[in-house]
């Protein structure tokens, strides 16, 4: 059986010390360089496969400092501090010695506590009742996902107009299907196209500057979700002087919030 495109992208080779070698994959390409979500997954994975790792990720921040070229890259993953139940990591992706991406992550041993939801899952039809979107933007990475838009689908750049809000609501899963884990969840957190495209129904230069994802579930809960679609929601807050933020929630199909994710996006014009 062929290796899944996500697992192919996560193939990092030990270089000794804290360094590992990876390479970009054409099937994850975005407009310029790779899809930010796959870079986030690769950085998280470098800490995940480190024998010094404690527990499971609870938070990941990825800073997109410069473009990643289509070639090999090196990830340095450093455990900055290990406590009894938490561990803080720094990960840096470099090409030719230059920092392309910096990241931090918090890992933790989760344990049973008082627990409660607060945000409610949006009411939507089940994934099977929402048609899969057949159109995709003219870059490679969207073909790595199945999108079933309930609202806020791909923008229509042939009809520029200003919309009053930027929300997208959709069912999404890896294509081909793949059992959910922290790496795929970290990537899915970045599948929302820049909210400025939705507000303006226009393509303007835009790119994620920094992305933070909080994981609200343990590995067992992610495994229980399996390869079934997640419910995904994203919306922006304010667009001003070249930057806007957008926040996203990713839900299991039985109504648990698996991750919340926030990003700041650069835009031009």
Q: Is 95 in the site for a second copy (CB under 8 A)?
A: no
Region near a second copy per CB under 8 A, out of 6-14, 38-46, 125-133, 241-249: 241-249
Region near a second copy per CB under 8 A, out of 33-41, 79-87, 130-138, 225-233: 79-87
Give the number of other CB atoms < 10 A from CB of residue 82.
14
Q: Is 119 in the site for a second copy (CB under 8 A)?
A: yes
Q: Is 108 in the site for a second copy (CB under 8 A)?
A: yes
150: nearest Cα among 186, 123, 174: 123
Region near a second copy per CB under 8 A, out of 25-33, 36-44, 131-139, 255-263: 255-263
Q: How far is CA 55 from CA 20, 40, 88, 158, in A?
A: 21, 19, 11, 48
Q: Is 110 in the site for a second copy (CB under 8 A)?
A: yes
* Contact in structure between 105 and 57 (CB atoms under 8 Å): yes
118: nearest Cα among 263, 261, 258, 257: 257
String marking each residue 147-176 x if it binds a second copy according to CB under 8 A: ---------------x--xx----------
Q: Is 242 in the site for a second copy (CB under 8 A)?
A: yes
Token pair 């979700």 is found at 225
Give the number of other CB atoms < 10 A from CB of residue 248.
22
Bridge pairing between strands 56-64 and 98-108: antiparallel
Region near a second copy per CB under 8 A, out of 26-34, 62-70, 133-141, 222-230: 62-70
171: nearest Cα among 187, 191, 157: 191
User: Least separation, in Å, of the C-beta of 134 and a second copy?
Assistant: 29
Give the number of other CB atoms < 10 A from CB of residue 57.
23
Region near a second copy per CB under 8 A, out of 7-15, 25-33, 206-214, 222-230: 206-214
CA–CA separation, 168 and 164 (whole Å): 13
Measured from the CB atom, is 112 or 138 closer to a second copy? 112
Q: How far is CA 246 from CA 5, 30, 50, 238, in A?
A: 27, 19, 31, 8
Q: Is 84 in the site for a second copy (CB under 8 A)?
A: no
Assigned token pair, 12: 């990092």
User: Least separation, in Å, of the C-beta of 65 and a second copy?
Assistant: 4
Q: Is 203 in the site for a second copy (CB under 8 A)?
A: no
Q: Is 142 in the site for a second copy (CB under 8 A)?
A: no
* Contact in structure between 224 and 248 (CB atoms under 8 Å): no
Question: Binding residues for a second copy, per CB under 8 A?
Answer: 58-59, 61, 63, 65-66, 80-81, 83, 85-86, 88, 90, 92, 98-100, 102, 104, 106, 108, 110-119, 162, 165-166, 195-196, 199-200, 204, 209-210, 212, 214, 216-218, 235-245, 247, 249, 256-257, 260, 262, 264, 266-269
């Amino acid at each position: 059986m062929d290796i899944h495109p996500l697992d192919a992208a996560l193939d990092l080779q030990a270089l000794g010390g804290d360094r590992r070698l990876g390479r970009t994959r054409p099937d994850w390409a975005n407009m310029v360089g790779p899809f930010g979500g796959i870079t986030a997954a690769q950085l998280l994975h470098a800490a995940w496969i480190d024998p010094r790792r404690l527990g499971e990720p609870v938070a990941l921040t990825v800073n997109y400092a410069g473009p990643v070229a289509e070639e090999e890259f090196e990830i340095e993953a450093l455990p900055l501090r290990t406590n009894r139940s938490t561990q803080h990591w720094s990960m840096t992706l470099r090409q030719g010695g230059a920092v392309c991406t910096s990241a931090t992550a918090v890992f933790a041993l989760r344990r049973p506590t008082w627990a409660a939801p607060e945000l409610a899952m949006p009411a939507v039809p089940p994934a099977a009742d929402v048609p899969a979107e057949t159109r995709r933007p003219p870059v490679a990475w969207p073909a790595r996902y199945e999108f079933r838009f309930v609202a806020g689908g791909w923008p229509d750049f042939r009809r520029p107009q200003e919309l009053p809000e930027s929300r997208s609501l959709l069912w999404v899963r890896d294509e081909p299907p793949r059992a959910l884990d922290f790496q795929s969840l970290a990537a899915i957190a970045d599948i929302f196209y820049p909210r400025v495209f939705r507000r303006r129904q226009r393509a303007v230069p835009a790119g994620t500057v920094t992305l933070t994802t909080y994981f609200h579930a343990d590995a067992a809960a992610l495994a229980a979700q399996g390869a079934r679609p997640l419910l995904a929601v994203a919306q922006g807050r304010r667009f001003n002087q070249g930057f806007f933020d957008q926040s996203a929630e990713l839900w299991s199909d039985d109504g648990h919030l698996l991750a919340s994710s926030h990003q700041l996006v650069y835009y031009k014009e």
